[in-house]
Amino acid sequence: MGTACDMGNMPQMDMSNMCQTGNGALPSSAGIPITSLQAPQTATHVDEFTLIAQYAHLSFMSKGQADAWTYNGTSPGPTLRAHQGDLVVVHLVNHLTVGVTIHWHGVAVPNSADGVAGVTQNAVKPGQTYTYRFLAQDPGTYWYHSHQESFEETGNGLYGMLVVEPARPVVHDDVDAALALHTWNNTLAFNMSTGTQSINARPGQWVRLRLVNTDNSPHLLTLKGAPFLVAALDGHELNGPTPLTALPVSIDAAQRYDLRFQMPQHGPVALFAANGNGQYQTPPRVLIGQENDFQSSISIPPMSQKVFDFTTYGHPAPDAIKPNSHFDVTYTISLGFTFGFSNMRPGPVFTLDGESFPHTPMLMVRPGELVRLRFVNDANAGDHPMHLHGHTFTVLAKNGHPLTGSPVHLDTISVGPHETYDVAFYADNPGLWMIHCHNLFHANHGMDMMLVYPNISTPYSIGYASGNFPD
């Protein structure tokens, strides 16, 4: 496939502003306008929220302060809880002096609600508002963040969590807590705490911790005090999860892990995260228990050599997509690294098929196709948490070996050095969708591409003239 500049009659993305800078362009012509790809205007059940992008001075519980860019004055912004099946309506108001958007990470929204500046909307300018509308179809743990200058804006605090509560829960949770991990001035925080924070739970109760990593590189975490289950990945429940004892789980950028456990008869359960040297540290930590438990001292566990492996976890179950399904199209995407220029800046360049955005190839898919993607990390530039917008994929195989445990459905897959992952999804959500590394530094340095359905047109453009910079 060609670059954005010579796509001919392929997708109609107007990147003319990038072309003026020598980057690539497409004619914007007639087709299905992105603006028509919308959720219904109203529904019987509507969950309505307002998020105000605003500056805030954060003081963390324990230690540390930060000047942050926030939704509603905190970072993470409010955890939005919606009910499965409801129409979610979110009004974004921008009180910052920079443009912002909101991307609903992991949610199969209609394309016009995807929040990608220059692709599905213009960045919302200071003083302006924008309304997002989507149906909350799939229950689970999601998150939201700005997709204008997302490396800078998400890093500065423009993110929060979204929980879609199941209409018919499969399991009962007595306590349900959402925790975002974010590094502020080299200090890791769980939500607004860099110290010890406590969550109340009584003996025998079932607790679900919904964790998201809003940073750019993986975090290793574990729970001590009770065996735990990895109940869901990226919001999607696993089949037959089995109890784990103090096993570290590695959560890469943008991924969500739901951990569940039953409170023991005595003592607290503690959540620990590892530092940069791969050793558990404290603070920060989270203690789950009762008042008198929070005083008890709980020692830092040693790091185990073995790390949680989702490719062998839980029990097999029938899945709509199997390794031997018939795939209408397969794209191999090689994840690479070089030095050079991206967006006219010299420095590191992270590439997809040897190119950096917007020169990366576009992947064409047609409605109804079963699409297979093969991510091949053949560079030594660390792991790449590859994220697909608008769709959830089934993980088929790692390094050519099919999964042996539960089916796994993700929107972000961590591809380590010299690893290959095969994933597949139904092309069931027409639009122009990004695929990019969620190490947002990598995305900011070229590691983005577009997955496009035929004949979709957008009136928006990326570049200096429009001021839209999705990453």
Residue 437 partner contact from ligand C2O, Cu ion, none using kind-dependent CB cut-offs of 5 to 8 Å: Cu ion
Contact criterion met (CB below 8 Å) for 143 and 123: no
Region from 242-250, 303-311, 374-382, 430-438 binding ligand C2O, contact rule CB under 6 A: 430-438
| 182 touches ligand C2O (CB under 6 A) | no
Name the residue among 315, 170, 319 with its Cα closest to residue 240. Answer: 315
Residue 387 partner contact from ligand C2O, Cu ion, none using kind-dependent CB cut-offs of 5 to 8 Å: ligand C2O
Of the two residues 103 and 398, which places its CB atom closer to ligand C2O in the complex?
103
Nearest-angstrom CA–CA distance, 465 and 460: 11
Tell me the closest approach of the beta carbon of residue 442 to Cu ion, in angstroms.
Answer: 3
DSSP-derived secondary structure for 209-265: EEEEE-SSS-EEEEEESS-BEEEEETTEEPSS---BSS--EEE-TT-EEEEEEEPPS
Region from 68-76, 174-182, 220-228, 434-442 binding ligand C2O, contact rule CB under 6 A: 434-442
Name the maximum alpha-carbon separation found in the chain.
68
Of the two residues 70 and 444, which places its CB atom closer to ligand C2O in the complex?
444
Amino acid at 467: G
Site for ligand C2O in 388-407 (CB under 6 A): 389
Tell me the closest approach of the beta carbon of residue 105 to ligand C2O, in angstroms.
Answer: 4
DSSP code for 86 = P
* Helix (H) or strand (E) run with residue 180 in it: strand 175-184
Of the two residues 216 and 420, which places its CB atom closer to ligand C2O in the complex?
216
| 133 touches ligand C2O (CB under 6 A) | no
Tell me the closest approach of the beta carbon of residue 471 to ligand C2O, in angstroms.
Answer: 8
Q: What is the dihedral of CA 7, 10, 13, 14, to 10 degrees?
A: 50
Name the residue among 192, 187, 233, 244 with its Cα closest to residue 210. Answer: 233
Whole-number Cα distances in Å, 344 to 212, 340, 463:
33, 9, 12
Tell me the closest approach of the beta carbon of residue 252 to Cu ion, in angstroms.
Answer: 10
Residue 442 partner contact from ligand C2O, Cu ion, none using kind-dependent CB cut-offs of 5 to 8 Å: Cu ion
Name the residue among 428, 352, 417 with its Cα closest to residue 387. Answer: 352
Tell me the closest approach of the beta carbon of residue 254 to ligand C2O, in angstroms.
Answer: 5
| 147 touches ligand C2O (CB under 6 A) | yes
String of contacts with ligand C2O for each residue 105-124, x by CB under 6 A? x-------------------
Residue closest to ligand C2O (Cβ): 105
Token pair of 286 as six digits: 């989270």
Residue 119 partner contact from ligand C2O, Cu ion, none using kind-dependent CB cut-offs of 5 to 8 Å: none
Residue 434 partner contact from ligand C2O, Cu ion, none using kind-dependent CB cut-offs of 5 to 8 Å: ligand C2O
Figure out which of the listed residues 256, 387, 391, 398 binds ligand C2O, where binding follows CB under 6 A. Answer: 387
Residue 145 partner contact from Cu ion, ligand C2O, none using kind-dependent CB cut-offs of 5 to 8 Å: ligand C2O
Tell me the closest approach of the beta carbon of residue 145 to ligand C2O, in angstroms.
Answer: 6
Of the two residues 149 and 237, which places its CB atom closer to Cu ion in the complex?
149
Return the residue matching tokens 């960045």: 123
Whole-number Cα distances in Å, 184 to 66, 190, 275, 304:
7, 11, 14, 27
Contact criterion met (CB below 8 Å) for 104 and 140: no
Site for ligand C2O in 243-262 (CB under 6 A): 254
Of the two residues 412 and 458, which places its CB atom closer to Cu ion in the complex?
412
Tell me the closest approach of the beta carbon of residue 410 to ligand C2O, in angstroms.
Answer: 13
Nearest-angstrom CA–CA distance, 436 and 450: 8
Whole-number Cα distances in Å, 88 to 50, 91, 134, 250, 428:
11, 10, 5, 31, 20
Tell me the closest approach of the beta carbon of residue 325 to Cu ion, in angstroms.
Answer: 28
- What backbone torsions phi and psi does residue 36 show, to the nearest 5 degrees? -85, -10
Helix (H, G, I), strand (E, B) or coil at 342: strand
Nearest-angstrom CA–CA distance, 181 and 215: 7
| 103 touches ligand C2O (CB under 6 A) | yes
Figure out which of the listed residues 434, 447, 449, 456 binds ligand C2O, where binding follows CB under 6 A. Answer: 434
Token pair of 17 as six digits: 């502003």
Region from 194-202, 264-272, 433-441, 452-460 binding ligand C2O, contact rule CB under 6 A: 433-441
Binding site for Cu ion (CB under 5 A): 384, 437, 439, 442
Whole-number Cα distances in Å, 308 to 248, 313, 364:
6, 8, 34
Of the two residues 149 and 293, which places its CB atom closer to Cu ion in the complex?
149
Sites of contact with ligand C2O (CB under 6 A): 103, 105, 145, 147, 254, 387, 389, 434, 436, 438
